[in-house]
Homo-oligomer: A and B are copies of this chain.
């Protein structure tokens, strides 16, 4: 059983990686649970789910209940299957999916209650032995201020060629360590890792692998297909990254 979060600057390819990994874990016979933790939700389409579940924020009573005394209501330790049955959907290859929340109305407030809920959920939910939880985080670093991912087994930081996503990576590394995350590693997306590698070395972020720039991914997106169902070079690259992820997690346990 393990929990992974996928983070990085906006637009680097977090959702593509998270959605594709969740499908690959499911095919590897893990009980795969994918959680969209970005209020600007789009994980469902990258998994290949046409009818995404309602965000947990829409269950008003649920959220208020839980965040009044965070974790308190989780005393009975819900089973993941119950939670998914009530609030989630099951997608291709049996991937289970939950959506944390969204902004329903301009001016209606921040994502703090939803984030608190997710943090408590991750701490209290009972997962089966062979469960793989994949969290697709919001762009940037605010979730690390909130500590949403405290207690996860691996933080994957997606970077792309260019200084800005590398700066974000160095911030994420530092903030992740602040909340006690031990395994932090990078994936380079949209191009060779050559220009990026020296910076990752400097920040002591190990490299899990690289995904080549693949213009087909734009077509997959426009056609509304999940990358894994569209196929191509970048999906093959993610297959290798998945193996590295499993190796890293086994090694650390």
Contact = CB atoms under 8 A, between A and B. Distances in A.
A174 B107 CA distance: 12
Interface string A188-229: 000000010000000000000000000000100110100000
Q: Is the interface of A mostly helix, strand, loop or mixed?
A: loop
Number of copies of chain A assembled together: 2
B221 A162 contact: yes
Nearest to A42: B164
Interface size band for A? 35 or more
A145 B45 contact: no
A140 B110 contact: no
B195 A162 contact: no
Interface stretch (A5-13, A69-77, A79-87): A5-13
Contacts of A141: 39-40, 102-103
Nearest to A107: B147
A91 B10 CA distance: 25
Contacts of A103: 141-142, 144-145, 171, 175
B110 A144 contact: no
